[in-house]
Each structure stands twice: as structure tokens, then as C-alpha cells.
Amino acid sequence: MGRVITKKPEILAPGGTLEKLKTAIYYGADACYIGGEAYGLRSRAGNFDYPEMREAVAFAHAHHAKVYVAANMVTHIGDEMGAGEFFRTIRDIGVDAVLISDPALMDICMMDAPGLPIHLSTQASATNYQTLNFWAEEGLERVVLAREVGMEEIKEMREKTSVQIEAFVHGAMCISYSGRCVLSNHMASRDANRGGCAQSCRWKYDLFEQELPGLKTPVGADEEGISEKFSMSAVDLAMIDNIPELVEAGIDSLKIEGRMKSIHYVSTVANVYRAAVDSYCADPDHYEFKEEWLDELWKVAQRELATGFYYETPDESMQLFGKRRKIPHYAFVGQVLSYDPETQIAVIQQRNNFGVSDTVEFYGPGMRHFEQEITSLKDEDGQEIDRAPHAMMIVTTKVKQAVQPLDMIRKRK
């Protein structure tokens, strides 16, 4: 008799906006994490007001998914004002849990919004099983691990704790320990730990060697004295090759980073991890990794991919510097709004320029894909056009296979 997976891990996707949340759930996410209008670390994301949260929770619960709200800022005196009312309101809306790193906000949440589950944010840097047990004793339901934790450490945590474990498996990696960075504070007067990160680590820098006082030589300069540009940021995390070990380690929730990313990114990554997790959990003895999953992720990757801290301490090969070593080859161009099976006409909302003679790829949940050439295109008035150049323009075209609303379209650059 073959192995049976008794618990399938949750796929947790970013819900930067209401549209992104719905997209993530449509493409297979079991849960989404979002931000409110205060107390989070993504002040420039499309954060949710209370009516939007109600709609998000209603949509998620109707699709058997959950919604978590990030309130993981580090509070200075005064930042906690209004937090009690905030936690009570999101609890009453039906939010499934709140992510917190600051013990002050935890106390307020427990006191003013009893019954609202608390998950420890990755900002709190949980890296050992004693820490997990401490937070479990404090009443927390789940711990989001620091990204600096290795696979063997996770396995030991699972053996020695009962609290739920959530771990990042895909997306951008902060260059600082668990995201607790002050570069943005110093260089842009924007507090990264209170939602204002300017992503200073991703800026391009010149690096000089000072040989003599007043004499500086660019490091890595060419014959004309032009130097390479350096950044301080890391390549992206991707654990798609390692789904069996993630599941066997007992991780309860596989987290995808990217509340600031597009619906193209969210749909693609959720789709891939859904397919891989389902495939392994359905038949672990005969599981085979599919190269198409990795190929799919590269269609939205903006940086190289690596396994972060899971198996080793990252070295300089996991650092971004110099010219981009892998260029993204696809651009997101549209989303299907509706489809008429009798005429085979799809109504499309344009997101980037595309037109007649372009070969595009349609894709949808369940890893549905097909390519076709656009042979004709009409605007909303039914007039033939060569291209759809205007953002959010509504166009129609005939498609060779059936598509569904919320299916996506991209083209090779």
C-alpha cells in the first residue's frame, strides 16, 4: 500500500488588491493575505478599506478560501492608536486571522477582539522550536517562520511543536534579517518597519576602491572607466522543485510573496503551486516533477530563482549584481471577460499593447494553455482594428479553443 498524505498544506497567495485576491483564489489559492489601511508593512499596496474587506471575505468564503490581514508593523508610541477598533472590525467582518509581529498589537488584539486568531509575522524572526512553543503558549495559532530557517530546522520544529507552521516558498527575498531593514529609513526617510520601504536595496550603486586620499577607482570598470552597477538585493525564492520535502516536513501553509505584484504573477504562481501540491498529495509514490511548472514560473520571473536558506547559507551567486542574467520573455497583455461558445468570440480587457499577427498564449486554472495567432481584432463598436494600444481597452477576437472569464493572455516579448 502506498503512502497517503494526511494533511495537504495550504497555498497562501498575496492579495494586494481585491482583483488580485479574486484572481489568486480563482487560480487555486486556499487563502490570501491582505493589508488594511493601517498597521501593515505595505503602505503603497492597494490596501483594503472595510467595505473591500467585506467583499474579499465574502468572495473567499464562498469559494472555500480564507483571508488573513497583515498588521505586522513595529509600533512606536502613538502608532497603536485605533488598533483595538481595527481588530474588532475585521473580526466582525469575518477575517480568518491577523498577522502581527509587535507584542503590543497582540495584547490589544487579544483584549479588544477576542476570538480573532493571531499568526506571528515573519518580521518577528522565529527561527527555533522553543520560540514557536513560546508563541503557542501565548495563544497564537500559527507562526510564520523567518526566511533564514533551513529545512532540517523546520523538520525539528514540526517534531517538537504543535503550533501551525507557515513558510515562504516563492517570491522576493529581503536582504535584511526577516525584513527588519533600516536602509530605507537612512536613505529615503521612509520607515520600512512601519510600511514605508523604498526598496533601497534594489537601487543601483557604484562601488569604488579608494587607493589614495581623493583618488577613487570604480570597481569592475571597463576600459572607458564605466563601472558595473551593483545592488544589495537577493535573487528570488522558488521551492517548486522541492514540493515533496515541504509537504513531508509538515509545513501547514506554503506562502507566496508579492502583494505588490501583478495579476499575471499571482495567477501564474498560484496555478503552478496548486498543480504541484495536488499532484504530490494525490499520489506521492508516483509523483513526478514537471518541467512545465518551472517553465511557467519563468514566464513571470523578474529575477533569477534559488532555494534561499532552505538547504544552505546563500553565497554571492544568490546576490543580484551587474547585468540581469536572465531576461523575462513574456508580457501580460489581457484578461478574458466573457466567451461565446457559439461564435467562439472572446471579449478581452487589454492590459498591454497587442494586435493582429501577434502570437499569444491563453492560460487558465488547472494549467490550461494554448497558443494562437490573432487574426482579427474589433473594438467595442465592432470596428476592425490592427492593434489594441490603449490600457484597459475592450476588444473582441475569435479564439480556437474555449476560454473562461478571468483567463489570462500573454505574449512573448
pLDDT at 387 over 90: yes
Given this model, what pLDDT does residue 300 score?
Answer: 93
pLDDT at 64 over 60: yes
Q: What percent of the chain has pLDDT over 70?
A: 91
Say how many C-beta atoms besides its own lie within 10 A of residue 198's C-beta.
17
d(CA 112, CA 84) in angstroms, rounded, equals 5
Summarised one tens digit per residue, pLDDT across range 345-366 is: 999 999 999 999 999 999 999 9
Residue 412: what residue type?
A: R
CA distances (Å), 400 to each of 86, 344, 412, in order? 49, 7, 19
d(CA 207, CA 211) in angstroms, rounded, equals 13
Q: Where are the alpha helices (DSSP H) in 262-410?
A: 263-282, 291-298
- 18 burial level (CB within 10 Å; 0-12, 13-18, 19+): middle
Q: 203: which residues sit within 8 A by CB, 6+ positions away?
A: 187, 231
Summarised one tens digit per residue, pLDDT across range 178-197 is: 667 777 777 778 776 656 67
Mean pLDDT confidence for 129-156: 97
What is the homologous superfamily of the domain 330-412 according to CATH?
Translation factors (2.40.30.10)
At 362, list the grid cell. Answer: 491563453
d(CA 413, CA 407) in angstroms, rounded, equals 20
Q: Which residue has the higher pLDDT, 112 or 189?
A: 112
Mean pLDDT confidence for 198-207: 75
d(CA 143, CA 200) in angstroms, rounded, equals 28
pLDDT at 138 over 80: yes
- 413 burial level (CB within 10 Å; 0-12, 13-18, 19+): exposed
Q: Where are the alpha helices (DSSP H) in 75-220?
A: 83-93, 103-112, 129-137, 151-160, 183-188
Q: What is the mean pLDDT of the chain?
A: 90
The length of the chain is 413
Q: Please choose, from the candidates 164, 157, 163, 21, the residue with its C-alpha nearest in 3D space to the C-alpha of residue 95.
A: 21
CB 56 within 8 A of CB 86: no
pLDDT at 42 over 90: no
Confidence of residue 232 (pLDDT cuts 50, 70, 90): confident
Q: Which residue has the higher pLDDT, 152 or 2?
A: 152
Given this model, what pLDDT does residue 45 score?
Answer: 55
Q: Which CATH architecture has domain 10-173+235-321?
A: Alpha-Beta Barrel (3.20)
pTM higher than 0.85 for the full model? yes
Q: Which sequence spans correspond to the domains of the chain?
A: 10-173+235-321, 178-233, 330-412
Q: Which residue has the higher pLDDT, 174 or 21?
A: 21
Confidence of residue 97 (pLDDT cuts 50, 70, 90): very high
Summarised one tens digit per residue, pLDDT across range 273-329 is: 999 999 999 999 999 999 999 999 999 988 889 999 999 988 877 887 666 656 668
pLDDT at 49 over 80: yes
